[in-house]
Structure 1
């Protein structure tokens, strides 16, 4: 349907609408498959195909969207079902991935696919089409790269396609287009020397850039990207991804691709006749045999928009728009990372709990900022775990707040134990976040154990810098905790001569009144059986003084808990997120 004359006016109107939609969320590239379908039209209606191909590029150009052009394709059906596509009405079967009951997506396990290149009469014609397109558009800036083969070696075609793919690369090298040439790496050994897929080895050896496919969840996406970078060291584009039913989601994978400068093309955009929102046929067969328990069939497989052009999940589009805006800001030097890099050395970038994290040097200390995937809230709120930022994360509500548009930070300064010098470092860090990155002027503090000690001392010294404090089994008093340097660090040098830490004005337990009078609300969680930080000398004494001073404090005592675990069960974090968001 995409390339034939029948119905083309209606289709181009549809293309125009959908490309406008793509541009509205920040997409700038479209992967166009010619392969068997386009070849069938080129063969039967050469001039019409060429005119419509040019028209497609022109329509895309109006929306500032460029093309990735796919020529060959090994996603194919066995020879008994093969025929060269011909112009005319193109029926579809509803309810099937690929738009037909016997699709190439798992309907024929173990069978060898068949394509036009296996037909002696059509083989030279196929290369003729490729040569014509590569020659005519060799200098066309509307084309990003020539994706000359989709999944070479799929459907048992490894040895068959290897020679065809090599020949097509050689044709491309002779024409020498200015755009890169790349065939897809899509599984197994990804074209490495030990790959049993001969066609994929050709793809790995001959491609100018890495075009690869992965429908895996984030952890596997990270591993695959590292592996491909090690194998090839070339620019990378994941030309097929997004598989919600097996855990490949927009919310974490899309930010990962952006952070690592990996281009990405989600398979499917608006739900239509091809029905890529349906599971692969092979998945259904597995389910029907009693397996497939890992598949979440309540979700769409691919596609971002419904036929009405409304989103499948508006939250996904929030993420896509924001990440695209972040990368535009990156190029303009205005992203969070770019602003950090203006004055600080970037140490590393990675994914933290599914969100982009930038680690950097701050006055000789490691600091990091985690960005929300969706658009940040207008007021730019942020949470700050002051110590143990990697501990009990899913129990603290921090990931939930990131999903709500908060940023999250930490500064590693445990050695200073929030002495006056440590508090000054914290204040300098906040000044940087507010002035250089545009964060809200007041922080939401997360203080677990020692982090509670840091939080209270910081808030007492700089009450104007703090919005709210969530304290979790906080250490607030050294009395009963220990006085060895290994325990209390530099505080051991200023220990009271009589050993009575409870009377020391520097102890957070003695700063409850100051924080209460500053109007800083507190959420306090602690275990009634805590043997590490004794409640009577820490949490309970602090809470009593805080209440007496007129402060707002929500106390949650968990009678049977000890010092650990911090936080609450992951499905109950609304207690914490609600505190910070109200």
Structure 2
């Protein structure tokens, strides 16, 4: 009897310890991936080639995701164009206010988007926050594009008011945790980009109304955002891309860049320079020993083109997302300087974008080249 009682007590102790450990594991945030974990994930992926995707009928993230303007017909048609040239991924921007206004509907629409993308063998990278362009997003009907102006209606997320107001942190936390948790085990999602260009001060477009201490406000929220994403235990990699600065050595990195790089499962970056600078950036980032993905490139007048960048990316097996896809309401065929320079017609050379609205290529030699490279590496899809 004593032995049976002792055995029972020991068994209860083992069960209690196991339950306690499981509870700890359930509540602990997922750790940043090791080099081995990141590279094992990357080995399972095709060469990632895609675009930053916004349907041509949407001026910004809100118009893309709000119920009355969510355009599945255009999304389906335009993702089919991506599939036709061998693209297998798209980088897609979400928005906290679209979720706040209609959380269940927003998640359903993201799910519908993933269904359409999956039909076209495309796995999107989902972007949670973004510091670029208009600091004052408002839900509802979005304004019409300003003629001949690059990204005249794109909006930040979170907006300036939310960034300044610490009482809105629980709302932003709920947005991140709910969305990531819902898709955390979803194989249709490639990765989570926590914050696009978090220290972007918007240049001449909105600099008169931009917060002077914006970066000081962003850094702690960016840190928390990484924590909130990981608390949902995503099976997909988490990242935030660096985009300007001196990356030659760890001592030359800005504090926000150190945060981004240290918290990223895979390394992402932007580059709109010439080919030699693009390659130099890749070599600099190789010291982290993790997969490298360029989540923004391709500004033709700058020398950042498919012809100059894709061969280098193939050489180093760097994933590639060009900016712009179908010429539409974002008007990114116009250059950044369209905010300070007057245009009255399409520029002699498109800045971004690949296709006309009718689905024909802007430059057939470009789409042929993209298809050639993707088929060489990944085969026909």
TM-score by length of 2: 0.74
Report what 2:369 is aligned to: 319
Report what 1:182 is aligned to: 239
8 Å contact kept, 1:134–1:175: yes
Report what 1:88 is aligned to: 141
Residue 62 (structure 2) pairs with residue 12 (structure 1): no
Report what 2:230 is aligned to: 173
Distance in 1 between the 2:113 and 2:298 partners?
Answer: 25
Residue 109 (structure 2) pairs with residue 60 (structure 1): no
Report what 2:183 is aligned to: 137
Aligned match for 1:154, one of 182, 190, 200: 200
Mapping 1:285-434, distance limit 5 Å: 285=340, 298-329=348-379
Distance in 2 between the 1:28 and 1:17 partners?
Answer: 15
Q: 1:326 to 1:51 in 2, by over 3 A?
A: same
SS of 1:93's partner is coil
Residue 320 (structure 2) pairs with residue 267 (structure 1): no
Superposed displacement of residue 195, structure 1: 4.4
Report what 1:244 is aligned to: 300
SS of 1:160's partner is helix
| Structure 1 segments (4+ residues) deviating >3 Å | 190-197
SS of 2:224's partner is helix
Report what 1:99 is aligned to: 152
SS of 1:185's partner is coil
Gaps of 5+ in 2: 1-62, 202-211
Aligned match for 1:23, one of 83, 98, 102: 83
Superposed displacement of residue 216, structure 1: 1.1
Q: State the Cα deviation string for residues 523-542 of structure 1 (Å, max 9, x = none).
A: xxxxxxxxxxxxxxxxxxxx
Superposed displacement of residue 276, structure 1: 1.0
Aligned match for 1:228, one of 267, 280, 285: 285
Superposed displacement of residue 170, structure 1: 1.6
Superposed displacement of residue 200, structure 1: 2.0
Report what 2:164 is aligned to: 118
8 Å contact kept, 1:195–1:201: no
SS of 1:122's partner is helix
Superposed displacement of residue 193, structure 1: 3.4
Superposed displacement of residue 284, structure 1: 5.6
Q: 1:179 to 1:192 in 2, by over 3 A?
A: farther
SS of 1:327's partner is helix
Distance in 2 between the 1:158 and 1:99 partners?
Answer: 23
Greater RCO, CA 8 A, separation 6+: 2
Superposed displacement of residue 187, structure 1: 1.1
8 Å contact kept, 2:136–2:155: no
SS of 1:143's partner is coil
Superposed displacement of residue 118, structure 1: 2.5
Q: State the Cα deviation string for residues 96-143 of structure 1 (Å, max 9, x = none).
A: 10034xx789xxxxxxx8363333343321121110111111111111
Superposed displacement of residue 6, structure 1: 1.1
Q: State the Cα deviation string for residues 504-562 of structure 1 (Å, max 9, x = none).
A: xxxxxxxxxxxxxxxxxxxxxxxxxxxxxxxxxxxxxxxxxxxxxxxxxxxxxxxxxxx
Gaps of 5+ in 1: 106-112, 289-296, 332-582
Distance in 2 between the 1:128 and 1:249 partners?
Answer: 39
> 1 or 2, which has the higher strand percentage?
1
Distance in 2 between the 1:192 and 1:118 partners?
Answer: 32
TM-score by length of 1: 0.49
Aligned match for 1:2, one of 49, 61, 64: 64
Residue 266 (structure 2) pairs with residue 209 (structure 1): yes
Superposed displacement of residue 196, structure 1: 6.0
Larger radius of gyration: 1
Q: 1:243 to 1:219 in 2, by over 3 A?
A: same
